[in-house]
Structures are given as structure tokens and as C-alpha cells.
């Protein structure tokens, strides 16, 4: 397997296929690089070099006890980008991966990044705070912590329903997609998943968004039950210097999988623009 060892000894697993302009895919919680299969194949066939890593503690990367915060996630990506000598790269992040993307681009991306994409992303901040009173109450994230820490197998099964909008009337449920989400989640370390909840909910990306100069596409489903677009995408797009926003009526949080054809087409148009 392809892995790099970062400064604290953690091994980061990655897939690196094809040649051409690199597109780096950053997965959501609690998944792995496998969540990008539909995008990896599409863009590989379009002549791009496609790369997807497993965040520390997730998938096939080391089940590290520590470092489950956005600064460390971004630093891990920086080491990967250096090791693979990535230049003129497009970084695409889903959900938690969107936060990872904007922190990486802001802190480490100078001279290496051409564009960025935030899909169903947690930016600028999800949790309710004094400065973000309309955010999601901490009690919700405490429920996610409780389910993850002590009932992970069943909690992860149940989580797939709102994640993909399968709890909506008339939804066409794919058991394979649900099983694949659960498979990816259970590959990772429970402590990494637990700690990551704080990272994706409480990290404030406001200054990262403001500081990024490269073009950024913000894509979000209007029926996202996990990361509501009014709290995130609408705000993030306004903070960007060179941002573009696309929202999708009826699309769920997991729209890169359930609505891959639409998402891939819009991604391609942005990349080529």
C-alpha cells in the first residue's frame, strides 16, 4: 500500500492514479478515500491525476491516538503534497474534508494550489457559540459523541439514513451505498472518530476563508440534514475573495455519491473554467 510517514510517525495512506493536473480529494467524517470512487474514476478517465488519502485515524492510515484537529490534518496534507510534489493542484473536500481543504490552502497551499472546492462543507463553523448564535447546539454534537464512542456499529448504520436523504419520503434507498459507508467508518479508529467531532463542529474557518486568494467553488445540497447549507455554504461563499456558490434543491449531504453525475459535471466545468 502507498503510505507516507509524517513528522509524528503517523502513516498516511493514499491512492495516486493517472497523470496530468492533480486533483486531491479530502473525505468526510468518519470515512476514507474510498468515498470518492465516483469522482476518482470520472476524473481519471478525463485525463487528470487523482489522489485520495485516508485522514489520520481513518481508513487505512495509522490509528494514531493524537493529532485529530484541523491544524494537524492540514499539516498531514502538506506533507503528502510535498512528498508527491503536487503543483497546480485542485483540492476538493467533502464535509469535514472541506474544512481540511480550506485550512490546508490557507496555511500551506502557496505555490501548490490552483483551485479549491468545498462540497457539503462544515465551513465557516457549525457549532453554536457566542459569535455564531444560530449554529447547531452543542447537545447535538454530544449525542454524536455518545453514539460514536459507545454504540458505533449501530449508530453508524443509522447515520446513513439522513446522510444520504434516505429518510425522505419516496427516497430510493441503496443498501450497497449504506453498507459501503458503514464499511469505511468501521475501518477507522473510534478515538479518531470521537476526537474529530470536535474538529469538524467547533473549528472556526472564518479567517481561512477570508485569506484564500485562489478560486473556490462552494457546492451544497439544500436538503442537507447533516450540515445545513444556510449555516455553512451561504456564509462561506460571502467570506471568500474569489468564491462561487452552487446550491442544489433536494440534494442530501452525501450528494457526491447519490448525485455523482451532476456533481462531477459541475466540478469539471469549474476546473476547466
Which set of grid coordinates corresponds to residue 176? 450497497
User: Is residue 95 flagged as an active site residue?
Assistant: yes
Task: Give the active site residue among 35, 76, 224, 266.
Answer: 224
Q: Identify whether the C-beta of residue 73 lies closer than 8 Å to the C-beta of residue 100.
A: yes
Task: Give the active site residue among 53, 68, 94, 253.
Answer: 253
Q: How far apart are CA 199 and CA 57, in angstroms?
A: 13
Cα–Cα nearest to 104, from 71, 126, 132: 71
Q: How far apart are CA 1 and CA 73, in angstroms?
A: 20
Q: Identify whether the C-beta of residue 116 lies closer than 8 Å to the C-beta of residue 105.
A: yes
Cα–Cα nearest to 123, from 14, 175, 201: 201
Task: Give the active site residue among 32, 95, 120, 201.
Answer: 95
User: Is residue 204 flagged as an active site residue?
Assistant: no
Provide the 3-class DSSP secondary structure of residue 152. helix
User: Is residue 193 flagged as an active site residue?
Assistant: no
Residues with catalytic function: 95, 224, 253
Amino acid at each position: 500500500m502507498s503510505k507516507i510517514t509524517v513528522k509524528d510517525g503517523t502513516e498516511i495512506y493514499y491512492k495516486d492514479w493517472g497523470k496530468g493536473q492533480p486533483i486531491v480529494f479530502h473525505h468526510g467524517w468518519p470515512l476514507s478515500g474510498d468515498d470518492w470512487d465516483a469522482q476518482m474514476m470520472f476524473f481519471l478517465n478525463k485525463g487528470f491525476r487523482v489522489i485520495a488519502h485516508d485522514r489520520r485515524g481513518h481508513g487505512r492510515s495509522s490509528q494514531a491516538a493524537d493529532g485529530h484537529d484541523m491544524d494537524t490534518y492540514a499539516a498531514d496534507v502538506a506533507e503528502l503534497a510535498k512528498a508527491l510534489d503536487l503543483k497546480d493542484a485542485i483540492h476538493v473536500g467533502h464535509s469535514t474534508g472541506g474544512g481540511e481543504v480550506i485550512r490546508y490552502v490557507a496555511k500551506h497551499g502557496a505555490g501548490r494550489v490552483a483551485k479549491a472546492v468545498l462540497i457539503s462543507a462544515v465551513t465557516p463553523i457549525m457549532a453554536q457559540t457566542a459569535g455564531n448564535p444560530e449554529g447547531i447546539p452543542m447537545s447535538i454534537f454530544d449525542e454524536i459523541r455518545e453514539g460514536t464512542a459507545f454504540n458505533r456499529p449501530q449508530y453508524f448504520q443509522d447515520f446513513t439514513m439522513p446522510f444520504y436523504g434516505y429518510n425522505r419520503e419516496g427516497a430510493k434507498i441503496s443498501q450497497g451505498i449504506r453498507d459501503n459507508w458503514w464499511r469505511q467508518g468501521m475501518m477507522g479508529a473510534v478515538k479518531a472518530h470521537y476526537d474529530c467531532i470536535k474538529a469538524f463542529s467547533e473549528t472556526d474557518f472564518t479567517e481561512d476563508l477570508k485569506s484564500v486568494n485562489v478560486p473556490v467553488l462552494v457546492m451544497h445540497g439544500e436538503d442537507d440534514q447533516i450540515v445545513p447549507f444556510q449555516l455553512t455554504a451561504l456564509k462561506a461563499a460571502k467570506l471568500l475573495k474569489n468564491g462561487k456558490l452552487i446550491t442544489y434543491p433536494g440534494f442530501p449531504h452525501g450528494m457526491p455519491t447519490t448525485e455523482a453525475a451532476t456533481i462531477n459535471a459541475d466540478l469539471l466545468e469549474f476546473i476547466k473554467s
